[in-house]
């Protein structure tokens, strides 16, 4: 799907990448849990995404466990989006695609999921038109 970290030249060390992976995983888990139905299918989408973003296979369970704790202990999604919003558009669009994949993985979208995605568009600085296009693309793919 995408290998955004593997080719990325960062001035800082892996700590920034690890923090971004953790924040991204936390956001994805939040989206998966918002309908109070955190499924194995959603967990697999999240794991696959975090690996594709550059996480080592051997560390994926640790990252997911930490992200689940972060998500559980956080009372606002700003904690997760602060770092993500500063990434390039390609990264943010891929994250939005994954978010919609998670939401449509159970073939339904509820008001909480819909509301979350509207808020995330603004928090991640992704244009409403692009959010809508991504939603329709993922919806068609999952039907």
Q: Is residue 46 part of a domain?
A: yes
Q: What tens digit of pLDDT does each residue of 51-102 get?
A: 999 999 999 999 999 999 999 999 889 999 999 999 999 999 999 999 999 9
pLDDT beyond 90 at 22: yes
Q: Is residue 110 part of a domain?
A: yes
Smallest CA-to-CA distance from 24 within 73, 88, 85 is with 85
CA distance 135 to 100: 6
Q: Which position has the higher pLDDT, 59 or 8?
A: 59
Average pLDDT over residues 39-60: 95
**Residue 14: which pLDDT band, with cuts at 50, 70 and 90?**
low
CATH number at residue 122: 1.10.3680.10
Which residues form the domain of 59? 14-142
Q: What is the pTM of this model?
A: 0.88
Give phi and psi for 4, each to the nearest 5.
-75, -25
CA distance 43 to 102: 9
């Amino acid at each position: 799907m995408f290998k955004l970290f593997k080719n990325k030249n960062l001035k800082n060390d892996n700590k920034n990448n690890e923090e971004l992976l953790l924040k991204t995983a936390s956001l994805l888990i939040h989206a998966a849990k918002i309908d109070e139905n955190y499924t194995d299918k959603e967990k697999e989408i999240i794991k696959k995404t975090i690996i594709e973003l550059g996480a080592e296979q051997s560390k994926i369970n640790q990252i997911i466990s930490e992200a689940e704790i972060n998500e559980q202990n956080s009372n606002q999604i700003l904690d997760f989006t602060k770092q993500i919003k500063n990434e390039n558009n390609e990264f943010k669009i891929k994250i939005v695609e994954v978010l919609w994949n998670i939401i449509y993985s159970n073939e339904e979208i509820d008001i909480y999921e819909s509301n979350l995605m509207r808020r995330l568009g603004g928090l991640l600085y992704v244009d409403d038109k692009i959010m809508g296009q991504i939603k329709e693309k993922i919806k068609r793919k999952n039907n």
